[in-house]
Amino acid sequence: MQTLKGIVVEKINVKLPDGSTEICLSGKTVGETLSSRCGDAVTSAVAARVNGEIVDLSYPMDEDAAIELVGISSAEGLGVLRHSISHIMAQAVQDMFEGVRVTIGPSIEDGFYYDFEYSDTFTPEDLEKIEKRMREIVTANHPFIRTEMSREEAVSFFENKGEPYKVELINDLPNDVTEVSLYSQGGFVDLCRGPHIPSTGMIRAFKLLNVAGAYWRGDEKNKMLQRIYGTGFATQEELDDYIRLIEEAKKRDHRRLGRELDLFQMNDEAGPGLVIFHPKGALLRTIIEDWEKKEHLRRGYDIVMGPQILKVDLWKKSGHFDHYRENMYFTEVDEQLYGIKPMNCLAHMLIYKSKIRSYRDLPLRYFELGTVHRHEKTGVLHGLMRARQFTQDDAHILCTPDQLNAEIRAIADLVDYAMGVFGFTYEVELSTRPKDSIGSDADWDLATAALKLALEDNKILYDINEGDGAFYGPKIDFKLKDALGRKWQCATIQCDFALPERFDLSYIGADGERHRPVMLHRVILGAIERFMGVLIEHYAGAFPVWLSPVQASILTVTDNQIPHGEAVYNQLVDAGIRCEKDFRNEKLGYKIREGQMQKVPYMLVIGDREVESGTISPRQRDGSNLGSMDVLDFVSIVNEKCDKYE
């Protein structure tokens, strides 16, 4: 036994980040324990991991433990830093605006937010003032102090402070939670699990970005709050790089480019979350869908089509009614309730059940570009990225358990090929069983093992995303990365033992007995609308030639060249080139600039010289000229750029 500041303590064993083990005094904090051995590394840490759990550096050591430092630049460290900045923002807002009530303020992937109830509207000028107050709090270097209270004490504390949202959060905790933690800095106190950085003075770079509306707890039946978004980084340089990325993302915003390039519109008269495609947008979509049909037919898929509505009894049988109905629309026909389909799988199972299947028939691969409807909340709608009606490149593969590995690997190969064609790299996650799920433990174990084995056989690196699988099976998610390094969820493979059981699907095996097939749900591009939105932002609207709705624009200098322009147009159309005519009585420079603004790959200039020689002078959208050439030579140039895709 030893004493520390008059308290009897015991020695404990601590495994340090360098792998060594040291005997330390129980009662020391994590930071104190590490400082003597890790030196400067501790000063750049924002938290620590003790036996796998991330904690404050002020966390007291009272048992044998393995300790790791959580650096300020790591993903977890940034999360701790940003969460701490959100508390500082909440403090600044309460300091400056009378009557504000605070709700929640988590860190998110690229920053943080905090939701406030406030009678007035926060303005951009307010954000600048809030930032100024936040810098004062940072300069004061207030320590983040954790305290614990019984839930009854915490309820009383926040009731006295006039914070009903905190009271509601505490009251909604499970009954077995008897204590809650609070964090304070500079007089501001917040209900929070933590962890937090040691003090406000560690913060170097942050920026408040914008204000948006948000319903309390994400429920549109609740009060509308104001959400202030911000971000923070370990250094000012990293913050500056991120701000530049945001500015570039604004230029690439698919909603703005959709209007400017005349691709689509979202119109409140039609209804929120509903896309109206203009001719160029519909053509772009057709190009993508035609490519998909060709590639699926090459790989042994059968194209099928299902109805838009199905009797609600089928949705109950599948489990969607119990697990997904809040996202569904319903309608009544002849006093019979129907569900408007949010997914395409049910019709595909009915196709399978339409006759007796043999093991010799399998695998069966049903592919449908199926339009679905999902009741998304208004607050999450976002152009093509999040809509209420969209079309999925859906397929369901029914196979024997022995065929599962080969089918999963083939899907992964198709995803890899498609991402290469459209110009994306990607990362992979394996999502495991969620709490809200159907099916037996044994089936979930088999399905998860099958997905893991296929990934490993294809030598695909992946991360585990615990508890984020579909309610009927685990899944592989492919997250593509665009030109700005942002990640988008598109392709997925889901392994499902449950629905074939619920729909009593079977096949006759080599032994003459009935057996249960396994079903793979999968998409390659995902929702076509969403994928188009990603494509628009990835290429900033300047699509590769094979994807461009308009591949060439014919520009005449004066009306004298219109007859030759018409002849060139007809030649190009006959050759399968997507082109348009610009024979307006405008200056050539104006037409060229407009063509460049429309991101047209080639502008074919026709003047008197081209009329005399029967040629064209192609100009690329980057401003470079290809020189005078015959129309057929130009067709060859375009075809060469398109042949490997079409």
Catalytic residues: 345, 374, 392, 394, 396, 475, 521
CA dist 452 and 436 (Å) reads 22
In contact, 164 and 101? CB cutoff 8 Å: yes
Element (H, E) at 361: none
524 near 561, Cβ under 8 Å? no
- Tokens coding 555: 């520009």
- Structure-block tokens of residue 114: 């905090």
Around Cβ 11, how many Cβ atoms within 10 Å? 13
389-399 and 425-431: which strand pairing?
unpaired
User: How far, in Å, CA of 226 to CA of 212, rounded?
Assistant: 6
Nearest to 98 by CA among 122, 118, 115, 121: 118
DSSP letters of 134-167?
Answer: HHHHHHHTPBPEEEEEEHHHHHHHHHHHT-HHHH
HSE toward the beta carbon, residue 186, CA cutoff 13 A: 23
If residue 46 lies in a helix (H) or strand (E), which one and from where to where? Answer: strand 45-50
The full length of the chain comes to: 646
Token pair listed for 341: 């389909």
Can you tell me which residue has the tokens 């093991």? 359
Edge-first strand listing for the sheet containing 552-556:
579-582, 552-556, 602-606, 617-620
Q: Report CA torsion sign: 568, 571, 573, 577.
A: negative
Do residues 481 and 325 touch, judged by C-beta distance below 8 A? no
What is the SS3 assignment for 595?
Answer: helix
* Percent helix, strand and coil across the chain, each to the nearest 5: 40, 30, 30
For residues 527 and 371, what is the distance between their CA atoms, to the nearest angstrom? Answer: 9
Helix (H) or strand (E) holding 108, with range, is strand 107-108
Half-sphere exposure at residue 525, Cβ-oriented, CA atoms within 13 angstroms = 32
Chain CA centroid to CA 454, Å: 24
Q: How many CA atoms lie within 13 A of 321 on its CB side?
A: 14
DSSP conformation class of 287:
H
Considering only CA atoms, give the Rg of the chain.
Answer: 30
At 294 the three-state DSSP class reads helix
Please answer whether residues 178 and 150 qualify as being in contact, where contact means their C-beta atoms are separated by less than 8 angstroms. Answer: yes
Query: Rounded to whole angstroms, how far apart are CA atoms 537 and 246?
Result: 12
List the structure tokens of 631: 């129309």
Spatial CB neighbours of 463, under 8 Å, sequence gap ≥ 6: 427, 428, 429, 430
Nearest CA-CA partner of 389 in 313, 329, 436? 329
Quick one: DSSP state of residue 549? S
